Structure 1
Amino acid sequence: MQNPSCLLYGPGDARFEDRPLPMIEDPYDVIIRIAYVGVCGSDVHFWTHGGVKRLVSPSNPLVMGHEASGIVQTVGPAVTTLQPGDPVAIEPGRACRLCSRCKMGKYNLCPQMKFAASPPDHGTLSKYFKISADCCYKIPTSVGRSFGLDEAVLVEPLSVAVHSVRQVGVQPGDKVVVFGAGTIGLLCAAVAREYGASMITCVDISRDKLDFAHSFVPNGRLSFATAIPTQSLSPEENAQCLRGMHRNAHITETDVVGFDVAIEATGAESCIQMAIHALRVGGSFVQTGLGQRNVSFPISTVSENEINVKGCFRYGPGDYKMALELAFTRKIELKSLITKIVPFEKTIEAWETTKRGEGIKTLIRGVGFADEHDGNEAGDKEYNPGYV
């Protein structure tokens, strides 16, 4: 096979096939030899249900994968920022750059966005993947071998977390509650810490994930806590328990009680409701996790308490740059999030591992890559397509 790929034909139906080698068509294109691909909740949803809004089918199968890193294989004639052999983190979406949303700095909302593994656009679970050069972020040589291509995969979800925290406007001294202690929730909490939050509470139903959060999020100045909702209580009652966790004897009835910011990273209806009720009057809420499309939302509480509500969709201008800075300077340690790496041939095992909620982040190793490969490996010599 020249370009082995993993395609999804429908729920529970994945097949390994050879696909055509990508060719340089636009002078700003680059072709990447994929090193690692991360598994996220949307991959599991596709594997289980065949898609989100648009479904795959036997007549329109889809190459999966969007969290990815790799090594530059070939560059178009107009590319001056990269060269073959460069290790890169990949931003897996190409906007049109021409529409009104792109022009107003909201390229993540571009109606013509071509996003990896979002039908009909194929993803990164291939040996080779083509993307625009400006969507590839070179791992600086100063970072050396201490920052590998496995960690570079996690720059994509870290960018989502950066976008979420920027959207909701976390300020120094804020009390923040994060719902969900998976990859996105943990990274949102870590980014909120870097933006100056003085108190962070993580909420999840998994004690293992919350135990991990204690080692991943805190630093010396941060008041950090975790909580598991009580199943027998309503979302509003659980929210009251959360609000009372940090209440002390010196607070009077006239003091503002509740969190300044709630970051919802699960998409679960009960967590969305809990988040709104956990906020103080005038607090801010951002919906970061994607779950059910239609949920019961406490709109009266939002109105009565003048809650600021924000959406979060992928990432926008400056988010990847910020994520890279946080990762490269080790302000957020991404390596510890990786709990399992499987070879390309065991992609289904990776999806099932994530589906069962095991660990934090599972990676799929690219075709022909060994454990010791990192950002200093050179690209293959066997495939070097020219500009056509």
Structure 2
Amino acid sequence: MDPKSASNLSFILNKPHDVQFSDRPVPSLQSSHDVLVAINYTGICGSDVHYWEHGAIGHFVVKDPMVLGHESAGTVIQVGPEVKTLKTGDRVALEPGYPCRRCQPCLSGKYNLCPEMRFAATPPYDGTLTGFWVAPADFCYKLPDNVSLQEGALIEPLAVAVHIVRQAVVTPGQSVIVMGAGPVGLLCAAVARAFGASKVVSVDIVESKLAFAKSFCSTHTYISQRVPAEQNAANIRKEADLPEGADVVIDASGAEPSIQTSLHAVRTGGTYVQGGMGKSDITFPIMAMCIKEVTAKGSFRYGSGDYKLAIELVASGKVDVKKLVSGIVAFKEAEDAFKKVKQGEVIKILIAGPNEKLEQAGAAVTAKA
């Protein structure tokens, strides 16, 4: 029997706040180098919530029904004939974007900047909140035995943080300020500590987030004040005993006041990395950046080696992503999970399934093959 007859329940966005569950055909392998993965767990990202809330992010507009989700882990249930690195039954973290592999950015090692990137849950491409997902084998990362599938679903946001911290070139003994204590900000702080930063300061406007940051990885925390950016930066430096500013400042919030504060909080000759996305245009303290000869960089998703390092950080115990999980909900409760994330009730919530058990996932297709 054809595997395509197996159940493939998917969580689909039609338009803002209009979602449905639909049983779609199981996708077939498109290449001899592809694998078919049964999705076990999926995390909810801020971009997923934004599409659910607004139906668009910038010029990416949901025009046709689209499956949401891109932070997933699952179990390999079918492999193409040329696949050498994976086998049926392997548990994998999915890197949800596939480049063309031929353009200048791809060939120069920056495939995350590929203009032809096919990224999950970014119009017009469907996401991973579905039963089965086809992916190139080299964008599926086998999980070590001591890394769970739940942790595997958090490799995607951790890889984002790894890329940001690598852009900052954080080295042992440095001081790092991270603006924003959402999931990516928290993971940036954790990765900075894993890279050897001796002082990591988390900044946010929500006290509960900062309390978690202190228990999770940060050496210092600061609740941002509604004062001019220069004053806010001065307060952060004083609170964290960084009179000359931090070696590295990462903005993981995308908020204009946070970005302005960042440039005043970084030391002369220091490094600033923009990891969070916000408004397309903001007022930026260009004088501070110039006078201090700050090295400023952007950061977009993740690139070569970031997923591998993220998995190693979890497997070694250097970053405990399990602490970020506020709860796990059943697949049929996916919309409720989106509401909880929107309301700020959770740090990271996982949606189980629809193939959260290997034996169920394998049987669903194998029995019909």
TM-score (norm 1): 0.90
Whether 2:264 is the aligned partner of 1:277: answer yes
Question: Which SS does the other structure have where 1:383 is aligned?
Answer: helix
CA distance in structure 2 between the partners assigned to 1:126 and 1:307 by the alignment: 44
Aligned with 2:224 (options 205, 225, 229): 229
Aligned with 1:259 (options 239, 246, 266): 246
Whether 2:38 is the aligned partner of 1:33: answer yes
Tell me which amino acid in the other structure corresponds to 2:224: P
CA distance in structure 2 between the partners assigned to 1:180 and 1:313 by the alignment: 17
Aligned CA-pair RMSD: 1.8
Whether 2:364 is the aligned partner of 1:382: answer yes
Which residue number corresponds to residue 221 of structure 1? none
Whether 2:105 is the aligned partner of 1:101: answer yes
Aligned with 2:50 (options 42, 45, 52): 45
Identify the range of structure 1 (156-165 vs 79-88) with the bigger mean alpha-carbon deviation: 79-88
CA distance in structure 2 between the partners assigned to 1:368 and 1:313 by the alignment: 30
Q: For residues 340 and 174 of structure 1, do their structure 2 counterparts lie closer, same or farther at Cα, with a shift above 3 Å needed?
A: same
For the 8 Å contact 1:72–1:85, the answer to whether it is kept is yes
CA distance in structure 2 between the partners assigned to 1:299 and 1:137 by the alignment: 41
For the 8 Å contact 2:244–2:267, the answer to whether it is kept is yes
Tell me which amino acid in the other structure corresponds to 1:213: A
Cα displacement (A) at 1:63: 0.6
Question: Which SS does the other structure have where 1:161 is aligned?
Answer: helix
Which residue number corresponds to residue 3 of structure 2? none
CA distance in structure 2 between the partners assigned to 1:320 and 1:15 by the alignment: 31
Which residue number corresponds to residue 215 of structure 2? 215
Which residue number corresponds to residue 291 of structure 1? 278
Output aligned runs, 1:114-153, within 5 Å. Answer: 114-141=118-145, 143=146, 147-153=147-153
Q: For residues 29 and 68 of structure 1, do their structure 2 counterparts lie closer, same or farther at Cα, with a shift above 3 Å needed?
A: same
Output aligned runs, 1:59-98, within 5 Å. Answer: 60-98=64-102
Cα displacement (A) at 1:84: 1.3
Cα displacement (A) at 1:97: 0.8
Which residue number corresponds to residue 181 of structure 1? 181
Aligned with 2:299 (options 302, 305, 312): 312
Tell me which amino acid in the other structure corresponds to 2:225: T
Which residue number corresponds to residue 245 of structure 1? 239
Which residue number corresponds to residue 333 of structure 2? 346
For the 8 Å contact 2:201–2:240, the answer to whether it is kept is no
Tell me which amino acid in the other structure corresponds to 2:325: I
For the 8 Å contact 1:85–1:379, the answer to whether it is kept is no
CA distance in structure 1 between the partners assigned to 2:224 and 2:32 by the alignment: 53
For the 8 Å contact 2:222–2:239, the answer to whether it is kept is no
For the 8 Å contact 2:327–2:348, the answer to whether it is kept is yes
Cα displacement (A) at 1:385: 10
Question: Which SS does the other structure have where 2:101 is aligned?
Answer: coil
Cα displacement (A) at 1:378: 7.4
Output aligned runs, 1:192-203, within 5 Å. Answer: 192-203=192-203
Which residue number corresponds to residue 253 of structure 1? none
Question: Which SS does the other structure have where 2:133 is aligned?
Answer: strand
CA distance in structure 2 between the partners assigned to 1:247 and 1:341 by the alignment: 39
Cα displacement (A) at 1:14: 1.1
Cα displacement (A) at 1:194: 1.3
Aligned with 1:337 (options 311, 314, 324): 324
Count of aligned pairs = 363
Deviations 1:194-230 (A, max 9, x none): 1111111100111111111111105xxxxx1101112
CA distance in structure 2 between the partners assigned to 1:105 and 1:239 by the alignment: 36
Question: Which SS does the other structure have where 1:34 is aligned?
Answer: strand
Q: For residues 385 and 236 of structure 1, do their structure 2 counterparts lie closer, same or farther at Cα, with a shift above 3 Å needed?
A: farther
For the 8 Å contact 2:220–2:240, the answer to whether it is kept is no
For the 8 Å contact 2:313–2:319, the answer to whether it is kept is yes
Tell me which amino acid in the other structure corresponds to 2:140: C
Cα displacement (A) at 1:266: 0.7
Which residue number corresponds to residue 312 of structure 2? 325
Aligned with 1:24 (options 29, 34, 38): 29
Structure 1 runs, 4 residues or longer, greater than 3 Å off: 376-379, 384-387
CA distance in structure 2 between the partners assigned to 1:215 and 1:377 by the alignment: 37
Deviations 1:176-209 (A, max 9, x none): 1001111101110011111111111100111111
Which residue number corresponds to residue 252 of structure 1? none
CA distance in structure 2 between the partners assigned to 1:291 and 1:247 by the alignment: 29
CA distance in structure 2 between the partners assigned to 1:246 and 1:357 by the alignment: 27
TM-score (norm 2): 0.95
Residue identity (%) = 47
Cα displacement (A) at 1:6: 1.0
Cα displacement (A) at 1:292: 1.5
Cα displacement (A) at 1:167: 0.4
For the 8 Å contact 2:7–2:364, the answer to whether it is kept is no
Tell me which amino acid in the other structure corresponds to 1:230: Q
Which residue number corresponds to residue 61 of structure 2? 55
Cα displacement (A) at 1:296: 1.3
